[in-house]
Chains A and B, each alone.
Chain A
Amino acid sequence: MTAASPPTATVRPGPISSIRAALGRDAWVAGLAVLVVLLLVFTRSINPNYGASGIQSLAVNVLPLAFAALAQTTVVIAGGIDLSIASMMALTNMVAATLMLGRTDDIGVAVVVGVLVLGVVIGAVNGFLIVWTRVADIIVTLAMSFVWAGFALWIAQAPVRSPHEWLSGLVNGPVLTEFLPKAFVVLAVAVTVIWIPLRLSRLGLAIYAVGSNPLAAFRSGVSVGRTKVLAYALAGLFAAIGGLALSAITGQGNPLPGGFTLASVAAVVLGGVSLAGGRGGAVGPILAVMVLSLIQTDMTFLGLNSNLATVTQGVILIAVVVLGSLTQRRRASA
């Protein structure tokens, strides 16, 4: 910034500079994408049989965790954290399974819509409690994880078999070409229909603003409390989709929450979303989920102890955060 430069203020960016800016900001996501491709190539090289069916199973495997990660992404960007995601998935999964049991496709559609609404409502309850009680996000969502899991268990003590062809047909199998699994399409559609409009809306901006700097957001006219509640409601929506994905894939409702909550935190951090809030996007965490899944697959193919995958996951998680804090500190001291 020099005094000599003529006063110009271009709000519309030039194409090259905007690409460069986007690349700089999304270098992490680009790196993850490259990593996914490299891992796919590597998988193919160690196991020549890895092909369409491998990608198919990858897509189906990552689907529930990808939605859990999307849910976590939304609240983390808003400066919070949600430890009840797995429980919300279990609850919506159970509700969907019991209501759909032996019903027709028409009712199935209605149930899907109803479960999505339920997700929004329970997410909003989380958010409302956080804003209203002023208790830390982590404590409220931890406690609510018991509540939602309890309701899931109330519906039935044991898994409920409830295969629904229409629903499982949505995620199993390929579309057009055998290399394009339906599960990926579902993920892409969800991102396109929910995430992108959100990101472009003022609500999306407000969510980033509240996570980035609550005071500046307040001064910019954002209602901080309302934005937080809406962010949690959106997380509930994504968790509900994750619950439905579980129904579709397993053909059953399981009242016991899986390890999706902590895994989603890991995916969010690996996906380049800052736990401090305000930074990151949806694509990074989804790619991170794929990376983690592929590493596990490769370790199996290599005949390595599959537990090493868990170790790797933990090490990567810590390494990423340490790296982030080191670069940030260097930037601060520069």
Chain B
Amino acid sequence: MITSRATWRNQPAIAGVARLFRDKPLIPLLILLAALVAAFAIVRPGADFPGFIAAQIRTAIPLAILAGCQTLVMLTGGIDLSVAATGSMAGFVAASLYTGPNSLLLAIGVALGFAALIGAINGLGVGVFRVHPLIMTLGLGLVILGAANAYQLQVVRTRSGVPPELRWLGSATEATFFPDSLLVFVPVAIFIIVMLRGTGFGRLLYAVGDNPIAARLSGVKSWHVLLVLYVISALLAALAGFLVSGLTNVASVTLVNPRLLPSVAAAVIGGTSIFGGRGGFAGTIVGALILTVADSLLSTLGYPEAARQVLFGSIIVAVAAFYARLTTES
């Protein structure tokens, strides 16, 4: 196997593609995305193309934000399984506290406050008590789900709906091609990208994930970093929760759950390594778009949900294996 891999890398054409993938992972991903969009244009020649694009973006945005949580956490070698519960909770709390336009800020503020608390607990568990991130976020996810469920029973009498402002933000489209959720997403994306590329904190996320020993020897106290990280992750999850509830016009405590595993998948396809230290948000955005467009394309082609899932899983394994091959040079 060792020799076969060596020859594989020695073939100039494939090695060139491999280098392209490694150095500029975004380009091949964008090509793949463009191919998927083109494929849609071909199979549905007469369809409302701008409308299709807008719908894809609208669907992809909450997924991309959740995948942003995973990206940040995976850079440090962790994973955040509590984002679904946090997002659902935030959407539900905001809806339940909303009584009219005047209460919007309060409703959103309370939801974000709870999210920050959840993030802080995660951060303390992972950073200070050294609980495996998988277990910490899984356990806390259960706690949130149970508490939110109990809360749901309390407020079920007061008929609550998704605030119209969130509905507008999550599902409306301007001039048939500009989804309003971009108003939230563009600042969020800029925030994450600038944080990762241009701040000391972003550098430390990579450092802690790439080599915790080196980070420690350089004087980094990783629990500080992890605490802030998980709070940011939970706040982003809450934002995604608002958008999902707006998009679907549903407020339920399990609303975001179906997007949990795809959020991990989007980050992986975007080139972020679960072992930490490598990746970025730009790739993740493209990863989320690829998953969304591939899903619509397959359903347009009449593939059943089943085939889509099988393909979905196969793509993740294949892409992850490809990255693993590229990056394990000995």
Contact = CB atoms under 8 A, between A and B. Distances in A.
Is any CB of A less than 8 Å from a CB of B in the complex?
yes
Contacts of B314: 143, 147
Given A133-B321, A153-B305, A265 B138 contact: yes
Given A135-B321, A318-B125, A321-B132, A147 B142 contact: no
A153 B136 CA distance: 31
Interface residues of B, number: 47
A317 interface: yes
B261 A157 contact: no
B139 A318 contact: yes
A307 B149 contact: yes
A142 B264 contact: yes
B265 A325 contact: no
A308 B150 contact: yes
Contacts, number: 154
A115 B1 CA distance: 33
Given A145-B261, A275-B135, A313 B306 contact: no
A146 B309 contact: yes
Given A133-B321, A140-B320, A151-B306, A321 B136 contact: yes
Contacts of B141: 314
A307 B324 contact: no
A6 to B, nearest CB: 43
Contacts of B306: 150-154, 157, 255
Interface in B10-68: none
A311 B142 contact: yes
B8 interface: no
B146 interface: yes
With a 10 A CB-CB cut-off, give which of B132, B141, B317, B328 has the most chain A CB atoms: B317
A18 B141 CA distance: 41
B129 interface: yes
B313 A135 contact: no
A129 B317 CA distance: 8
Main secondary structure of the interface of B (DSSP, over half): helix
B89 to A, nearest CB: 13
Contacts of B139: 266, 314-315, 317-318, 321
Interface in B290-322: 304-314, 316-317, 320-321
Contacts of B321: 129, 133-135
B204 interface: no
A310 B253 CA distance: 13
A322 interface: yes
Interface in B124-138: 125, 129-132, 134-136, 138
Main secondary structure of the interface of A (DSSP, over half): helix
B129 A322 contact: yes
Contacts of A139: 264, 268, 274, 316-317, 320
Nearest to A310: B146
B138 A142 contact: no
A314 B316 contact: no
A320 to B, nearest CB: 9
A307 B146 contact: yes
A171 interface: no
A135 B129 CA distance: 27
Nearest to B274: A136
A322 B135 CA distance: 10
B123 to A, nearest CB: 13
A154 B309 CA distance: 10
Interface string A119-154: 000000000010001111011101111111111111
B136 A154 contact: no
A150 B149 CA distance: 29
Interface string B141-156: 1111111011001000
Contacts of B130: 325, 329
A318 B265 CA distance: 25
Nearest to A262: B138
Contacts of B317: 129, 133, 135, 139-140, 143-144
A60 interface: no
Given A139-B274, A153-B309, A81 B134 contact: yes
Interface of A: 81, 129, 133-136, 138-140, 142-154, 157, 255, 262, 265-266, 269, 275, 305, 307-315, 317-318, 321-322, 325-326, 329
5 contacts: A143-B312, A146-B316, A153-B305, A154-B310, A321-B131
- Among all A-B residue pairs, the 5 with the closest Cβ atoms: A310-B146, A150-B309, A314-B142, A146-B313, A150-B310
Interface of B: 79, 81, 125, 129-132, 134-136, 138-147, 149-150, 153, 261, 264-265, 268, 274-275, 304-314, 316-317, 320-321, 324-325, 328
Given A139-B274, A317-B142, 16 more contacts: A134-B324, A138-B274, A139-B264, A139-B268, A139-B316, A140-B317, A143-B317, A151-B306, A154-B306, A307-B146, A310-B146, A314-B142, A315-B139, A318-B135, A321-B129, A321-B131
